[in-house]
Structure 1
């Protein structure tokens, strides 16, 4: 399912989270003969939504008798903050699951500005788990949305950059993007992380009347995807993301602290903070101040661990360190200097 997979993909970009659930093809015996919308165009402003009735005629053998449905609409034109819409639950009002009619409501927000087209029908279970594919709708109906005074969500880190080992604080703001001013009332928002950013869950709080809310997040070994959502039914009507710069911890330990010149010595360590697609460099000190890379390797994105190889080039004490170049939301950091003596 697009929603959950998009969030999982973003999580993988910033932290070692996991693997997106595999998709399962829809049963070919299931089909949708018609999806009707009570309106073909709507105008909606600010944080409001406009409800329209949506009906589905379809055959869903194998689904439970009390199974509820959702209709998935995809962006077909125009520009807006949302690229998909999901209806609220549709319940069966006529017939059976083998051949029935379902009815419910689509809540259209201002952030859906543009044109949307009915794409597929899914079960409520699929919407919750993110596993499975919906029943595709051929030539689905379209709805044109004129959205004005859409919300703008911004995030400001108050102690940036901060060590990954320390809590961090974000000041969120929700204002009217068209006027650049607050809406003038307290706004219900959800503060969440990682896959929760695709939903309405998390800590539900109110902004102040100026649209601000400040939240301190606990320290963690990885950097989670951090978001603010404006709840909707069933999905948020607006989302904002926080890109907080963090300082990782870099450890480095050589297998030996002295060895004959030319001997290969393993240098092992780890980087904290979520290290997807990041690298580390082994550096050697030349002269009094010049550090040069003498090797590099990719980090294990689940553990943040690495193994590099040092090779003393001459007799005497040789200073080394491990450099972590800025990657994703992590800033450049180095390990403590260590010495390997060439003999």
Structure 2
């Protein structure tokens, strides 16, 4: 288990969204496995509701109660983790974060709080773990396993994100833009109000909260990034308190820029000739293919290798014919790097 500082909370309730409907119920279940934290024993987890209907970008606060013993002697909040067990909503996990002790003692206490359920949960979620402490996003955490209660979520008018990078393939050294559009997936139309989005990169995608900017009433927000940002994780997020309502994570596409130079340009026929080169952006372990020209237009595979961590590579040519043998290095599309060719070069075969 790791603990850290608390999350900065950003409110996610949005005015003008559709109403919600709930059905009362409560279920509880004991822990089913020994806690990774020997100080923590979970006795039960109870939810205030077993079903909820939520629309648009609303979130419904559902009560969560944990009865537990935490024998460390230090006051600490508890975090309750949910995972999807059914349904087809885009959200896969939920968190009831930093529940406070509201009754009893640390050795025999009651911790209470809420999980803010969004429409994107649409489906069934089950409590599977409890973790003491203050969560730091990006930490590797080990929860105490719990065979907990479930909640059935009916989401309607779910939000959907469309993300466009401009230009689609970002040149090295160039600034670029991210166009984000959020709309009602049921109608295909915007919600008609300005909505807060985080369009950020690098650590802000996984670790910290940023101040959101607002879309226009058509749900559109265009953000300009400097050139260096294209080499880090980019994301568009509708933030909740402890997890995103909806998000898109991506690396901008990069061109395949290949350079290749033979170590010798004239050798006896069938001599092995190292061809050294590089691929811009250093796409580690991506393939590079040495091709030799047959006839006027047919390029055939002659040798292949992979890009080293430095971005460089070496392939080996073996000119079979007297006179000029034409070669090029082909880099096929790999991850976010697009296909590209080196300039054609010749190795002369001699007797």
TM-score range, shorter chain: 0.7 to 0.9
Instruction: Output aligned runs, 1:89-108, within 5 Å.
Output: 89-108=98-117
1:341 aligned to 2:348? yes
SS at 1:90 equivalent: strand
**Aligned mates of 2:281, 2:230 — CA distance in 1:** 4
SS at 2:137 equivalent: helix
Deviation of 1:65 (Å): 1.7
Select which of 43, 56, 69 maps to 1:46: 56
Contact 1:222-1:274 within 8 A present in 2 as well: no
SS at 1:270 equivalent: strand
**Aligned mates of 2:70, 2:271 — CA distance in 1:** 68
Are the structure 2 counterparts of residues 121 and 276 from structure 1 closer, same or farther at C-alpha, using a change threshold of 3 Å?
farther
Deviation of 1:90 (Å): 1.1
Q: Return 238-247 or 182-191, whichever deviates more.
A: 238-247
Deviation of 1:196 (Å): 4.2
**Aligned mates of 2:53, 2:232 — CA distance in 1:** 36
Instruction: Output aligned runs, 1:30-179, within 5 Å.
Output: 30-62=40-72, 65-138=74-147, 140-179=148-187
Select which of 267, 271, 274 maps to 1:266: 274
SS at 1:128 equivalent: coil
Q: TM-score, normalised by structure 1?
A: 0.83
Q: TM-score, normalised by structure 2?
A: 0.81
Are the structure 2 counterparts of residues 48 and 274 from structure 1 closer, same or farther at C-alpha, using a change threshold of 3 Å?
farther
**Aligned mates of 2:55, 2:282 — CA distance in 1:** 39
Structure 2 unaligned runs (5+)?
2-34
Match of 2:13 in 1: none
**Aligned mates of 1:222, 1:322 — CA distance in 2:** 25
Match of 1:320 in 2: 327
Contact 1:164-1:249 within 8 A present in 2 as well: no
Are the structure 2 counterparts of residues 49 and 313 from structure 1 closer, same or farther at C-alpha, using a change threshold of 3 Å?
same
Match of 1:187 in 2: 195
Deviation of 1:272 (Å): 2.6
SS at 1:86 equivalent: strand
Are the structure 2 counterparts of residues 93 and 152 from structure 1 closer, same or farther at C-alpha, using a change threshold of 3 Å?
same
Structure 1 unaligned runs (5+)?
2-24
Instruction: Provide, for residues 178-217 of structure 1, a one-character-per-residue CA deviation record: whole Å limited to 9, x for no partner.
Output: 1111111111111133564346634621111100011233
SS at 1:105 equivalent: strand
Are the structure 2 counterparts of residues 254 and 133 from structure 1 closer, same or farther at C-alpha, using a change threshold of 3 Å?
same
**Aligned mates of 1:133, 1:294 — CA distance in 2:** 50
* Structure with the higher fraction of residues in strand conformation: 2
Deviation of 1:320 (Å): 1.9
**Aligned mates of 1:175, 1:338 — CA distance in 2:** 51
Match of 1:208 in 2: 216
Contact 1:165-1:221 within 8 A present in 2 as well: no
* Structure with the higher fraction of residues in helix conformation: 1
Aligned residues between the structures:
317
